[in-house]
Amino acid sequence: MAEKLQNNIKQNRWLLSASLVIMLVLLISVGIVISVSSQTKNSKDALVSEKKRLEKDIEYTNNLLSQTKKNKEVSLNQLTILNSQIYQRENLINNISSEIGGLDGEIKGSAQIIEQLSNNLMYLKEEYAKIIYSSYKNRNEYSRLMFLFSAKDFNQAYLRLKFLQKYREYRQKQIEMILKTQELLGVKVNDLKTVKQNKQQLLLTEEKHKEELAKEKDQKSNNVKKLQSKEKELVSSLKDKEKSERKLKQAIENIITTEISKSTNRNKSSKVVKAPSSKNKDKKKDKKKDVKEPESPKLYLNEEEQTLSNSFEANKGILPWPLDNGVVTGSFGEHPHPVLQGIKVKNNGIDISTNANANAKSVFDGVVTGIISIPGSNKAVIIRHGDFLSVYSNLSSVNVKSGEKIKVKQPIGTVFTNTEEGKTELHFEIWNDKTLQNPTSWLSKRK
């Protein structure tokens, strides 16, 4: 009988090894579930966050459009805001499509894991049934004692005793593993059901936004046709705007020139640091020593100003926005005119449409270096941040003084509202020395 038990235990050893392999496969499956879920969650969270921001911007732009529609006459401002709305809507649809694509991958992955878990569960149950059957046939306590006492020596008897103990523990672990697999399988089945429901909801949302986009594009087409009949008026308005922008740019350059002159004089009487220009930073080291290019006048900074300049530069991409709320309706650089064919417009900064009575705020610590009035651009505040300038134009009123030290996010003035068009728009620029920068690259991403 002891020999029979020994043979059965040898068989159970094989079952034990096979089951351990199954357990390992199951653990790998669980690892896959966790890994896939973690990766999917990160990308999904990013998409959801972006979707919320876009939905918020679209809602805000809708409110701005409502204000412009109070005037029955179609305006260029209305078209500009509508273009921004269309751009945001297209981005939102792309975002939803990406989210649906992610859910499709999640559904496929979950289905594969469910199939694998089901197979593992079936195999574990079969192996456990074999172990129970084997244990039932050798349930006689006398046989187990004979198995121990038939050992050749004490060491073998001890090893057999430990094996029987481990065998009992393993049976218990098999039960726990089966229950755990059943639980995990149930969770994945429910998760899959939820994901499919989410996908269906997203498909409906996507279809809704596509319908809204089609309406907005139709409205844009109609607005363009109406505005094309006002070509002379638009050309005149464009010339006035370009004239105002040239005056603003010239005023800023004059301020820079004056400050360079002052800093040069100050340099003669005190120790200051010469502000490094971006051109000097990028200059190649292998230039011929005998070739000397005439240096343009540079701004000299004291230690405090240089520290501020370095700090401003270190915050590139994370500066706060100059308005609490708003949408970009005019981007940096050269672009085709939204109505006039063959004509391009150049923007030295960005235009941000906002609600009436909005306050412009400083994007960083600095010193007010100039307050100017430009016909067509109302008032502008220029704040120096070491070797950098931030410009806030089209203000109806200003509540800071020239030479005043400013803190980040401090209100500096109220944005002008054109009541006829329902237009409240801030023009914002960033300069590094005498070089214009793209403000979008410096500001933080909207949340």
- Please give the Cα distance from 440 to 444 (Å, whole number): 8
> Which residues 6+ apart lie within 8 Å of 428 measured at CB?
322, 349, 350, 351, 352, 390, 391, 392, 393, 439
- Rounded to whole angstroms, the Cα distance separating 404 from 388 reads 16
Over residues 178-229, the pLDDT tens digits come to 777 777 777 778 877 888 888 888 889 889 999 998 988 888 888 888 887 7
Average pLDDT of the chain, as a whole number: 79
Mean pLDDT of the region 347-355:
94
Q: Where are the domains of the chain?
A: 2-228, 241-280+297-442
Residue at 217: amino acid letter:
K
The amino acid that residue 310 corresponds to is N
Contact 127, 19 (CB under 8 A): yes
pLDDT tens-digit profile of 39-59?
Answer: 556 677 888 888 888 888 888
Cα dihedral 313, 314, 318, 322, rounded to 10, equals: -30
Q: What is the pTM assigned to this prediction?
A: 0.67
Dist CA 187 CA 180 (whole Å): 11
What pLDDT does 445 receive? Answer: 85
Fold for domain 241-280+297-442?
Glucose Permease (Domain IIA) (2.70.70)
| Residue closest to 358 by CA, chosen among 332, 315, 395 | 395
**pLDDT band at residue 149 using 50, 70 and 90 as cut-offs:** low
Reported as type and span, the H/E element at residue 406 is strand 405-406
Q: 264: which 2 tokens?
A: 């040069």
Confidence of residue 287 (pLDDT cuts 50, 70, 90): very low
